[in-house]
């Protein structure tokens, strides 16, 4: 089970989470718990790292003191046993002192390396996990807490977006956790962070606690992985955009992956990979409504044919770039050159489209990387014999229709674009993968919600019971 920040939002929510764990333990389940940072803490850590090289000693002290006071106050409100509470408070004091020291070191050296940044960002989970352990111990659960490093997760050294080295991870995780489970001990593991083969702290990317849970679940051959969140599961659309959105009871790994990459924030996109490899079901459930079964993600979605489209997603805060030039037509390696430039600039590409004339390539990038992307392209290829123009648009969004039932079904694209055009929404770019699970297109930012509602109505998603 993984408990996200929203599932640890306040002392009462932490107690409720421990109650869920205790109920499962009472049914003789072997259980492993993964925890996120408390709400907002990772954002605060990101903000402080961005100005860490300019911090003075007083600012570092103030930030560490703030975290000490906040986490200590949470601990005091959810842990009654004085002996357990004292152990937690000592650990929180030690951890915030270490946080202060690393901030002061970065400030003194005037240098923040990717390695140092990962270490700093790991502190959110390192502070929350002892508190969850304390609440579990206070509730008479036999428990032990570990960092992601201590649990045995080993990754490459791609700091900020590390990938697990599963063969060695499986061996180390089993060696560490199997004795705990055999002894009836609840393992509580800090999510998000792991370590390189040399023992250097790495992180799995934002939302990486989901990834920690699926890595651990795959390593231990779990029967099921449950992600406790502030939503009931995956929905047919964002309910803030489409009030008639419904809960999806069951989706395939492939559908969930498409939804994750194209706007659904309920699950980390990469988190599906370890579970898919071992065919372990993932269930997304609501901490505020624990009686709901939520959404089950499995290899068999039991797709009903009438559910051609299962969900409509929207990705905002993106921008579109078009690289054009008549010299591009028929010339090998142009796309490779463009994407190599963007990779070198650290810009991720979300969506690509190229016309049959080969005289232009359009692609979507995160909006906050637009300036970096256009600068890199202008310096590298603009004005050459190949490329004559680089055009960017930042007031766009991406709408996607997702569903396994789309594969092999004639006329889906026609229905999609007819529905959108009936709401007077102009489509600027279209992309569909060979899997046929997803049709994505670019529209103006203000038209995004309108397009989502149009597709939700067209495919009857408010009426479907998926």
* Domain residue spans of the chain: 2-230, 311-458
Per-residue pLDDT at 327: 59
Question: Residue 34: how many CB atoms within 10 A of its CB?
Answer: 31
Per-residue pLDDT at 7: 86
Per-residue pLDDT at 57: 84
Per-residue pLDDT at 402: 92
CATH of the domain spanning 311-458, picked from 1.10.3720.10, 3.20.20.70, 3.40.50.1010, 3.30.2130.10: 3.30.2130.10
Per-residue pLDDT at 384: 63
The ranges of the chain with pLDDT < 70 are: 206, 261-265, 301-306, 326-333, 355-359, 383-387, 434-435, 464-466
Nearest to 425, CA basis, from 454, 392, 461: 454
d(CA 307, CA 303): 7
Cβ density class 141-177: b for 16+ within 10 Å, e for less: bebbbbbbbebbbbbeeebbbbbbbbeebbebbeebb
CATH of the domain spanning 2-230, picked from 1.20.1250.20, 3.40.1160.10, 3.90.1150.10, 3.40.50.300: 3.40.1160.10
Tokens found for residue 328: 């591009």
CA 220 to chain CA mean position, Å: 22
Per-residue pLDDT at 81: 97
Per-residue pLDDT at 260: 78
d(CA 203, CA 195): 8
Per-residue pLDDT at 303: 47
Contact 321, 345 (CB under 8 A): no
Contacts of 81 (CB under 8 A, 6+ apart): 137, 138
pTM over 0.85: yes
């Amino acid at each position: 089970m993984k408990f996200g920040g929203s599932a640890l939002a306040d002392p009462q929510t932490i107690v409720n989470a421990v109650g869920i764990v205790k109920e499962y333990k009472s049914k003789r389940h072997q259980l492993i718990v993964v925890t996120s940072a408390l709400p907002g803490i990772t954002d605060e850590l990101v903000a402080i790292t961005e100005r860490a090289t300019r911090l003075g000693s007083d600012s570092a002290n103030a930030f560490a003191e703030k975290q000490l006071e906040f986490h200590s106050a949470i601990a005091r409100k959810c842990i009654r046993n004085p002996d357990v509470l004292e152990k937690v408070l000592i650990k929180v004091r030690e951890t915030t002192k270490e946080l202060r020291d690393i901030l002061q070191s970065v400030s003194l050296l005037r240098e923040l390396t990717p390695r140092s940044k990962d270490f700093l960002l790991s502190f959110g989970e390192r502070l929350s996990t002892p508190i969850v352990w304390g609440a579990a111990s206070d509730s008479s659960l036999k428990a032990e807490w570990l960092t992601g490093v201590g649990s045995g997760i080993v990754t490459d050294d791609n700091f900020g977006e590390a990938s697990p080295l599963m063969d060695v991870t499986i061996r180390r995780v089993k060696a560490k956790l199997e004795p705990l489970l055999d002894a009836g001990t609840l393992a509580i593991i800090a999510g998000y962070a792991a370590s390189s083969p040399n023992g250097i702290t790495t992180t799995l990317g934002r939302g990486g606690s989901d990834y920690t849970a699926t890595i651990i679940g795959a390593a231990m051959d779990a029967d099921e992985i449950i992600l406790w969140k502030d939503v009931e599961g995956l929905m047919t659309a964002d309910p803030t955009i489409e009030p008639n959105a419904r809960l999806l009871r069951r989706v395939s790994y492939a559908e969930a992956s498409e939804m994750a990459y194209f706007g659904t924030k309920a699950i980390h996109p990469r988190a599906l990979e370890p579970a898919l490899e071992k065919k372990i079901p993932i269930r997304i459930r609501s901490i505020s409504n624990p009686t709901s079964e939520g959404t089950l993600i499995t290899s068999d979605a039991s797709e009903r044919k009438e559910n051609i489209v299962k969900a409509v997603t929207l990705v905002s805060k993106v921008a579109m770039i078009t690289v054009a030039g008549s010299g591009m037509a028929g010339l090998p390696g142009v796309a490779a050159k463009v994407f190599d430039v963007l990779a070198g600039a650290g810009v991720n590409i979300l969506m690509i489209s190229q016309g049959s004339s080969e005289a232009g390539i359009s692609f979507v990038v995160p909006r906050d990387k637009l300036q970096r992307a256009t600068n890199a392209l202008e310096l590298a290829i603009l004005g050459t014999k190949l490329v004559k123009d680089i055009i960017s648009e930042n007031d766009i969004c991406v709408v996607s229709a997702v569903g396994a039932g789309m594969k092999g079904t004639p006329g889906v694209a026609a229905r999609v674009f007819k529905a959108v055009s009936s709401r007077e929404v102009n489509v600027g770019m279209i992309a569909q993968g060979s899997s046929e699970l997803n049709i994505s297109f670019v529209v103006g930012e203000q038209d995004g919600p309108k397009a989502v509602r149009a597709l939700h109505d067209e495919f009857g998603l408010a009426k479907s019971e998926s």
